[in-house]
Amino acid sequence: MLPAGTRPFGDAVGAVVADLGTGTVGMILDGEVVTPVVTDISNSSDKLVLYAPPTLLSSSTSHTAGLIYAGTTNYWIFNVISNVVVSANEAVPRDRLDPGKVGFRARVVQAAAARPGGNTAAAAEAQLAGSPASVALPGPEPDGSYIITNVINWNVQKNPGNTAGEIGNFQPLFGGPADEPVPGVPGTGLAGNPRFENIAAEIFEYLDLPAGYQKFAVNADDGWKVQVGTPGQTTGTVLFSIDRGAGARDIPIAFTTPVAGLYPVRLVWYKGGGGGNVEFFSYGPNGEKILINDRTKANAIKAYYDITPGLRLTITGPSNGMVTISWSGPGTLEEAASLQTPVTWTTAPSQANPQTVTATGTKFYRVRQ
């Protein structure tokens, strides 16, 4: 286990040094001497040597690092994985985190025959939007989704009527959790192999992320897309997308978040024929694979399927020349005469909630938390 507070992400440069003993270790990055953090790795004589640059290394840049120990310097060259910068506007403030809504919101659709467009993210989106129609069993949520409170470690081999088996990084053989069935599958009216085929799913969650560099991965059969957005929102920034009809394989992705916050993210997964699985995980600084929202791991990135409602301002009227103003929680009512920039907001003379004011002229209101 890494020390408390250690970021579970790969925005550091370093290595594991075996049998260092009491010797010292230094580091060079791009010709400059830097000071790494050296941590004992439990149950071994190895040490984890990591240096986190004060500013993130840019997407797709090349660097040279060196470890200095035992009287020698060993260099290596590395490239920073290409990564998308997510807009700070996407971050929901962490004070809207709802600890009662841990996990994912998964909506699963299944077609009775192969989807037009095959194993592509676009075809999966069309299927999620209703074309072709779904025969999957809807979940208990109003939109037919399922709430998944633990992790995403699905395998169609675990679905009723299929041949049991485990696949991927996370399975009991490797000390991980057992695979779980894909919710809602098989759908109605299916027989034979199509019971476990032609599936698409939108796995939505708010990821609780610090500012910085994030390294995730999906292990899937067949393909997938990771996109910023709320359920059904297909216009957000695409963090990674791959069209493939192929077996389970790790594909790492990276992105950077300019500020800490809750980021709405959709993992769109799909499978055609044959096997089908999906694992959603991140990497620790020493390359450890950690399932998203694995609450048994201190360094797991946490997922929430919803957030607390934001402060809502309601203005009704006019009625008999009066307007009623109210808001949904603790906050300060402010007013402005115009929305032309620079806008001058001032605290409203009355903070009564609700309150009734005379409807004359033009006035703008907002409420601040």
197 binds Ca ion (CB under 5 A): no
Residues 222-241 that bind Ca ion (CB under 5 A): 222
- For residue 100, the 8-state DSSP code is T
When the beta carbons of 154 and 263 are compared against Ca ion, the nearer one is: 154
When the beta carbons of 125 and 179 are compared against Ca ion, the nearer one is: 179
Reading the block at residue 296, the tokens are: 């048994």
Among 210, 252, 274, 331, binds Ca ion (CB under 5 A): 274
* Site size with Ca ion, rule: CB under 5 A: 10
Of the candidates 13, 45, 8, 41, the residue with the CA atom closest to the CA atom of residue 26:
13
The secondary element (H helix, E strand) that includes residue 332 is: strand 332-336
When the beta carbons of 26 and 275 are compared against Ca ion, the nearer one is: 275
Q: Within 13 A of 133's CA, how many CA atoms are on the CB side? A: 3
- Distance of alpha carbon 255 from alpha carbon 232, whole angstroms: 21
Sign, CA torsion 353/359/360/363: positive
Q: How far is the CB of 332 from Ca ion (least distance, A)?
A: 49
202 binds Ca ion (CB under 5 A): no
By the 8 A CB rule, do 285 and 50 touch? yes
Tell me the residue number closest to Ca ion, measured at CB: 168
Q: How far is the CB of 170 from Ca ion (least distance, A)?
A: 4
Q: How far is the CB of 111 from Ca ion (least distance, A)?
A: 14
Binding track over 146-175 against Ca ion, x by CB under 5 A: -------x--------------x-xx----
Binding segment for Ca ion among 61-69, 204-212, 263-271, 307-315 (CB under 5 A)?
Answer: 263-271
Reading the block at residue 113, the tokens are: 């025959």
- Distance of alpha carbon 7 from alpha carbon 307, whole angstroms: 23
* Interface with Ca ion (CB under 5 A): 153, 168, 170-171, 179, 221-222, 271, 274-275
